């Protein structure tokens, strides 16, 4: 009788132990899957943000080019130059670039702010160039995303 009780306890204990191990494995598997999904969503979000930044930088560059072309045409016709339009200011006109500002190193923000005080004709493409370099750095070094086609 004692041996039967011992066998029952041992086999019952094994079953309980197996159930605990099985449920622990399911919990761990679920946590791993949740982390992977969270990482995938964060990567997708960051990839979309990089694309938006690149689009806005392209718009900023085009706004500078168009402004310079208009002023060149005005100069040829003897008309006064137009003041710099708001579209050539990355922090004021482009909402996503304000978000980029928070990801940039202080040195880059300072350089952009310094260039913003200059007229477009005196800085010709320097802000878009700097922002493109910084976005590439964020994409590949800081966030370690696979480099997207530009």
Task: Give 123-148 pLDDT, tens digit per residue.
Answer: 999 999 999 999 999 999 999 998 66
Arithmetic mean of pLDDT over the chain: 88
Q: What is the radius of gyration, based on Cα positions, of the chain?
A: 29
* pLDDT value of position 56: 98
The reported pTM is 0.78
Position with higher pLDDT, 140 vs 12: 140
Q: Is residue 20, in this structure, part of any structural domain at all?
A: no
Contact by Cβ (8 Å): 66, 22: no
What pLDDT, on a 0 to 100 scale, did the predictor assign at position 61? 98
- 11, HSE (Cβ side, Cα atoms, 13 Å): 6
Q: Give the count of domains, the chain.
A: 1
User: Does residue 2 lie within any of the structural domains?
Assistant: no
Identify whether the C-beta of residue 109 lies closer than 8 Å to the C-beta of residue 131: no
Residue 75, domain member (yes or no): yes
For 34-69, letters b (16+ CB in 10 Å) and e give eeeeeeeeeeeebeebbebbbebbebbbebbeebbe
């Amino acid at each position: 009788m004692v041996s039967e009780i011992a066998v029952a306890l041992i086999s019952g204990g094994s079953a309980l132990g197996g159930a605990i191990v099985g449920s622990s494995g399911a919990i761990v598997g679920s946590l791993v899957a949740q982390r992977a999904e969270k990482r995938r969503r964060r990567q997708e979000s960051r990839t979309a943000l990089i694309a938006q930044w690149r689009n806005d930088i392209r718009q900023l560059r085009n706004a500078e080019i168009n402004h310079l072309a208009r002023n060149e045409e005005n100069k040829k016709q003897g008309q006064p130059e137009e003041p710099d339009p708001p579209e050539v200011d990355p922090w004021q006109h482009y909402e996503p670039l304000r978000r980029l500002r928070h990801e940039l190193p202080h040195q880059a923000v300072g350089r952009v702010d310094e260039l913003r005080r200059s007229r477009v004709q005196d800085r010709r493409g320097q802000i878009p160039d700097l922002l493109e370099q910084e976005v590439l750095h964020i994409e590949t070094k800081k966030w370690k995303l696979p480099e997207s086609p530009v």
